[in-house]
A and B are shown apart, each in its own frame.
Chain A
Amino acid sequence: MTNAFLRLTGISKSFAGVQALRDVDLTIERGRVHCLVGENGSGKSTLIKIIAGVYQRDTGEYVIDGKNLARLQPIDAIREGVQVIYQDFSLFPNLTVAENIALNEEVAEGRRWVNWQQVRNVAADALAQIEVNIPLDVTVGEVSVANKQLIAVAKAMRQNARLIIMDEPTTALTEREIRALFSVLRKLQERDGVAFLFVSHKLDEVLSISEKIIVIRNGKTVSEGERDEYDRARLVYDMTGHSITEKSYDFEPDLSQPPLLKVENLNAEPMLNDINFELRAGEIVGVTGLLGSGRTELALALYGMQPIKSGRITIDQKPVDLRSNRDAIAHGIGYVPEDRLSEGLFLEQSIAKNVVVRTIESLRGSLGLTDPAKISGQVSQWVDALRIKTADPALPVNTLSGGNQQRVVLAKWLASNPKVMILNGPTVGVDVGSKEELHNLMKKLAGEGMGLLVISDDIPELLGTCNRILLMRNGTIVEEINTKETNENKISSKLIED
């Protein structure tokens, strides 16, 4: 393999007792698209940080462009052409698009004065180079996530990137944006010979974009090979060590019982219009629709976070007035938001505290003091149920991998045992194995009498877990689909028709 740009052998890394990587091998070839897959907590993000020089490896060899580098700082990696686009993109929301693109160069050149004309020229050049069009004078805080990503790519290309690494770049993007992103990246690959390394949990995406696949499990390379050697089943097997088959959710609602939640003629800000549906105890109902169809707004309205203009919401046959999320919680409605990482965790606090933060009241002992035995009982119950991968629940949440942090948010809400649970994108960023476990957990909770409303654009997920799927468009429910009478293709084509 003379075409190797970067070759890692026998890399290991541990954090205070946790062995995150042990003996990892990885080869990045020039101008090819690589995907790195593995379960939550298997060490993908850690590996990327080692490649970028952000973490120092404990052992192993790092050969880049034929040079064997002993110690590596972030600046060395950048000089060798390694550019990592982190999930926060390292952009400044308060500065314009143009300035964001040009800033690194201005600093690197040691400038003292700003030449605004030049800033614009650099930015226009950079965007032209990746052939995208983004207005230069708006602040980055106002542009979409997809455009932020493209801005980060444009910045990376200005710094002569030869390898661009993206950790879960597609989790926050819509279908169309994902296609646009990859068409830009493919151009860079063909024209400039840039190599890519992606991390993704969406296996279909992995199979459709990659040329080479690297699978790691528990910090070890399990397999590394050409795309053609893999199919979905092999990926799942390599990642988890066993194969997975999902059963659909068979639940026959008891029609003699009144519905748990009933929504009639609901109109709400900013765009919800005449929403009608019911949710019975034990049911899992899916909600899908393109971005902007109003699905998140519906969840927010039911959670008291969007002003309701008219209509009736009844829970257990009692009309309720949802003016704030406090009202919603008081009536037994729980909501796990889409953007879990920025919405729900105290990152510096322990995993245990984060899990019980909503239920601490109910865990008080006889004297009104919190009862440590009860707390640790509940914590370990949820850590087990959700398979949160940690050495000790007393560790702060920010020592967990991305996917495991998300499980803590889920645990926190599930622990409060609501009557109606609204889950927005429950498995975004969660690996296949755990996805199945989460789905089973959802079914178990429903079996115990909870009503679940699941918002997702992962159609197989909805088909595998829900009884019914509500299809939304332009702020209203356009169709209610029985999952037994449909399939993925039918729903997908319904989604895009107008």
Chain B
Amino acid sequence: MKRLLRRNETLVAITLVVLCLVIGLNNPTFFTVGTVFTLLRGSIVTGIFAMGVLIVIISGGIDVSFTAIGVFALYSTVKLMLAYAPDASIWVAFSIAGLIGLGLGLINAFFIAKFKLPTLIVTLGTLSMFHGFLLFAIGNQIIRDVPPALTEFARATVIEIPQARGTANLHPAVFLLVAVAILMWILLRYTMLGRGIYALGGAPEAAERAGFNVTRIQYFIYGFVGLLSGVAGMTFGGLARQANPQDIVGMELNVIAAVVLGGAYLTGGRGTVIGTLLGVILVVIANNSLILIGVPTVWQRVVIGLIILIGTGIPAIQERRAGKITSGLAEA
């Protein structure tokens, strides 16, 4: 029981339940299928991005360029489709976006693995490089006349439940997030590659001594994050039914916050898929539903900041209490 309580997932889950109760008791419309479906729809993009960020953080790195990769992949894919294959299916759209994302991710990997540069520096650089290149060389106008495949995608629905006012629809892309999450869970838990990612985040030198090919692991991580970001970017455009080169960039902090709230350590080595999903839902609720209990929009960022401070602060304090009063001694 004590172990269970100490686990981060438990803490996030409790916070989540409390937050839902507070919102729901103040505004009963919160507890409706409609709200649930809307929140789920709102979690898809953040969730897919978060899965990518999760493996980077577990490996001891950080990636802030994923939003630029996402919007780059989305916008270029839409432009390519409009120019060459306006009637291609949504699967083609996702494949192209994924490949573009993969390519950009490998650029990150190259700088990180080859030159051993700090991951934050590299991805801060590529964040503005990718975005700048997109705006300057590919286009800076919002595309509203998207290929029909995207329009269909936006309207797609798997479950329809009649409500007092209109119907509640569940978008099929929720299953995309579920599939990505299951894939990640298997990768992290049951493959040596996944264990190598944890090992790298826990003790990089020891990982090398143990025989892991660290360079190859890093190429995988940043390439895979790129691919996921491309897919997430495409999903975003599909749901929004437009390709706006100014979208997505700016979401970095929300996504990273979700992952960290879900129990991943920014110092690397720790983090789980379940925790991350909980963190994503928490952030999405905080972003979308605080307004239901009268928190004005401008205050939402403050509340999210507070949740992050509390959510990540409590485990850190607990750990320090447990006897690790080490840090801080060197720097008085």
Contact = CB atoms under 8 A, between A and B. Distances in A.
Given A90-B210, A91-B206, A104-B211, A112 B191 contact: yes
A145 B126 CA distance: 42
B209 A92 contact: no
A114 interface: yes
A401 interface: no
B329 A95 contact: no
B191 A114 contact: yes
A343 interface: yes
A107 interface: yes
Given A94-B270, A112-B191, A343 B198 contact: no
Given A88-B206, A326-B332, A343 B326 contact: yes
A333 to B, nearest CB: 11
Interface in B26-73: none
B269 interface: yes
Interface string A305-325: 110000000000000000001
Contacts of B209: 74, 90
B212 interface: yes
B64 to A, nearest CB: 23
B205 A107 contact: no
Contact of A108 (B211, B326, B328): B211
A305 B329 contact: yes
A111 B192 contact: yes
A133 interface: no
Interface string B174-209: 000000000000000111111110110111011101
Contacts of A112: 191-193
Contacts of B205: 88, 90
A60 to B, nearest CB: 25
A103 interface: yes
A92 B202 contact: yes
A107 B210 contact: yes
Contact of A90 (B189, B206, B326): B206
A325 B332 contact: yes
Q: Select the residue from B191, B205, B206, B268 with max chain A CB neighbours within 10 A.
A: B206
Interface string A360-381: 0000000000000000000000
Contacts of A61: none
Interface residues of A, number: 33
B211 A107 contact: yes
A447 interface: no
Given A112-B191, A114-B191, A343-B329, A94 B211 contact: no
A interface, over-half SS: loop
Contact of B325 (A95, A106, A300, A326): A300
A34 B250 CA distance: 61
B191 A339 contact: no
Contacts of B332: 325-326, 329, 358
A106 B206 contact: no
A493 interface: no
B330 interface: yes
B328 to A, nearest CB: 7
Q: Select the residue from B191, B192, B198, B201 with max chain A CB neighbours within 10 A.
A: B192
A99 interface: yes
B328 A94 contact: no
Contact of A103 (B199, B201, B268): B199
Interface string B230-260: 0000000000000000000000000000000
Contacts of B268: 94
Q: Select the residue from B190, B195, B207 with max chain A CB neighbours within 10 A.
A: B195
Interface string A331-353: 00001010100111100000000
Nearest to A102: B195
B211 A95 contact: no
Q: Select the residue from A103, A108, A114, A300 with max chain B CB neighbours within 10 A.
A: A103
Contacts of A99: 195
Contacts of A92: 198-199, 202-203, 206-207, 269
Interface in B282-332: 323, 325-326, 328-330, 332
Contacts of B212: 107
Given A90-B206, A103-B199, A108-B211, A343 B191 contact: no
11 contacts: A88-B206, A91-B206, A93-B269, A94-B198, A94-B202, A106-B195, A112-B192, A113-B191, A300-B325, A342-B326, A343-B330
Interface of B: 189-196, 198-199, 201-203, 205-207, 209-212, 268-270, 323, 325-326, 328-330, 332
Given A91-B206, A106-B192, A107-B192, 14 more contacts: A88-B206, A90-B205, A94-B198, A95-B195, A95-B198, A103-B195, A107-B210, A112-B193, A114-B190, A114-B192, A325-B329, A343-B329, A343-B330, A358-B332
Q: Which 3 residue pairs are nearest across A and B when measured between Cβ atoms?
A: A94-B269, A94-B202, A92-B202
